[in-house]
Amino acid sequence: MSDIKISEERRQQKRFKAQEGAFAALVDQESRLGQIKDISLHGLSFRYIDSHEKLKNASELKIILGKRGLYLDKLPFKIIFDFEIKSEFSLSMVNMRQIGLEFGELTPGQRNRLDRFIKNHTIGEA
């Protein structure tokens, strides 16, 4: 008998890689902005520069397209994970983190725009 365990994929929606220039921002007193790594109708993950300040009261999530500006704002969310990304360069002075967010209940308009974002600003499955 094998000791290898097959892990189940917890996500119920396909995730898609975001195109260059697609950003997410969490807004509170100390905002976080970073490039979206992947996105689905249920959530997203993005990487950001670690400022060593804890996200205390992030109350707003925005999706921004670099050349076009704000795409979606005031998205409800819950933080699922937030971890440090180990640098490939041992002398790097910049620490990066990756955060995963689950969307809360979206309005029909938010869901529609999110669906269009995924169709028009992603580059395949993650």
Domain ranges of the chain: 16-125
Domain 16-125 has CATH 3.40.50.300: no
- Three-class SS of residue 70? strand
- 99-117 burial: b if 16+ Cβ within 10 Å, else e: bbbebeebeeebeebbeeb
Q: What is the pLDDT along the chain (126 residues), one digit of tens a residue?
A: 434 433 344 546 799 999 999 999 998 777 889 999 999 999 999 999 988 777 667 888 999 998 888 899 999 999 999 999 987 766 667 889 999 999 999 999 999 999 999 999 999 898
pTM of the predicted model as reported, rounded to 2 decimal places: 0.83
Query: Token digits for 36?
Result: 């979206």
